[in-house]
Chains A and B, each alone.
Chain A
Amino acid sequence: MIAGFEHLNKAFESKIRLGIMSVLVANESADFTALKTLLQLTDGNLASHTRSLEDLGYIRCEKSFVGRKPNTRFYATEAGRAAFADHIAALESFLKNQKEV
């Protein structure tokens, strides 16, 4: 393996988790419905992935009510943003090394 590859984050191996982080890093926040539509996921699937990211401390959620409907809104934490940036940097350095070979 090429140097720099060990920096790849296991949490972001899943395409869905990477997608969730991409949305939350690019935007201030996103609610459950918006994430679901963007990533084209089912409720259960999105819920399990957001929970695992939450457990890692990469995202946090705020639950509130819009009228009578419960609304869950997700934010990327500082740790999450840093981990995401590291992951991208690792991918990019991998590509750079490949070019030089």
Chain B
Amino acid sequence: MEKKDVIQTLDDIRDMMAKSSRFQAVSGVSIIVVGVYACIASIFGYWVIGAPDTLPFLSGRQDVFQLNTPYRIRLACLLAVGLFVLSLATVILMAYAKARRHNLRFVADKRMLQMAFNFLLPLAVGGVLCLALILQGHYGLTSSIMLLFYGLALVNCQHYTYPVLRFLGYAEIMLGIIDCFSIHYALLFWFIGFGLLHILFGIFYTIKYDNVK
């Protein structure tokens, strides 16, 4: 046996171990669906903040014209939390459906738990920071903090899934940084980051990894 062959064999083993142990449960279509949710939510958010008169249940309430009224904050927080829960549920349910389709079991194994931990840790830290800022009356940076921490969460869990995920993470971080320095466009950045980027990445992921011909 040649040295070359031995190196090749070890490479093959490493590749096969990596390929088989990657977290591949997420369905590409679910990423697109999450992007669509975010688009709808940001348009709804724009409607709430930009034109409250058009909402029947808000008409006659002058205080809603101020962004920092408790009523509006409660509505926005509710919207954000609802969107997060809905997105997470969609991804998990569609991953379950994908596993069934491929005749695999969808179980919370060690790899999945590690991935979940590495993804949720930055997200939770960012969430707490956002909450703290909102409670203290600083609203301006909320959208950029969401984008930044979401981007970091994606980069952080790249080793447990397709490494290409990090590019989505980098894009979210870039957007978040630009968003830090620009005022008035928070919802637009939010729309691009959580909506458009997810739809684009979802389409790429579906074509590349979900074997849709």
Is A30 on the interface with B (CB-CB < 8 A)? Answer: yes
**Would you give the shortest CB distance from A50 to chain B, in whole angstroms?**
15
**Are A27 and B20 interface neighbours, CB within 8 A?**
yes
Is B16 on the interface with A (CB-CB < 8 A)? Answer: yes
Cβ–Cβ < 8 Å partners of A30 in chain B: 20
> Given known contacts A33-B102, A33-B103, A69-B103, is B16 in contact with A91 (CB within 8 Å)?
no
- Chain B 1-32 interface mask (CB, 8 Å, partner A; 1/0): 10100110110110011111100000000000
**Are B103 and A88 interface neighbours, CB within 8 A?**
no
Cβ–Cβ < 8 Å partners of A25 in chain B: 17
Tell me the complex Cα distance, A56–B123, Å. 47
The size of the chain B interface, using a CB distance under 8 A, is 20
**Are A18 and B12 interface neighbours, CB within 8 A?**
yes
**Are A28 and B17 interface neighbours, CB within 8 A?**
no
Cβ–Cβ < 8 Å partners of B10 in chain A: 88, 91-92, 95
**Are B13 and A22 interface neighbours, CB within 8 A?**
yes
Is B113 on the interface with A (CB-CB < 8 A)? Answer: no
Q: Which of A26-45 contact B (CB under 8 A)?
A: 26-28, 30-31, 33-34, 38-39
Cβ–Cβ < 8 Å partners of A66 in chain B: 103
Give the residue of B6, B12, B13, B21 whose beta carbon is less than 8 angstroms from that of A27.
B21
Indicate the member of A15, A22, A39, A88 with the most B CB atoms within 10 Å: A22
Is B75 on the interface with A (CB-CB < 8 A)? Answer: no
**Are B12 and A71 interface neighbours, CB within 8 A?**
no
Give the residue of A15, A23, A34, A92 whose beta carbon is less than 8 angstroms from that of B17.
A23
Cβ–Cβ < 8 Å partners of A57 in chain B: none
> Given known contacts A28-B109, A91-B6, is B20 in contact with A38 (CB within 8 Å)?
yes
**What residues make up the interface of A, taking CB atoms closer than 8 Å to B?**
5, 15, 18-19, 22-23, 25-28, 30-31, 33-34, 38-39, 66, 69, 71, 88, 91-92, 94-95, 98
**What residues make up the interface of B, taking CB atoms closer than 8 Å to A?**
1, 3, 6-7, 9-10, 12-13, 16-21, 102-105, 109-110
19 additional contacts (CB under 8 A) given A26-B20, A28-B110: A15-B9, A18-B9, A18-B12, A19-B13, A22-B16, A22-B17, A23-B17, A27-B20, A27-B21, A27-B109, A28-B109, A33-B102, A34-B102, A39-B16, A71-B103, A91-B6, A91-B10, A94-B1, A94-B6
**3 A-B pairs with least C-beta separation:** A26-B17, A22-B16, A23-B20
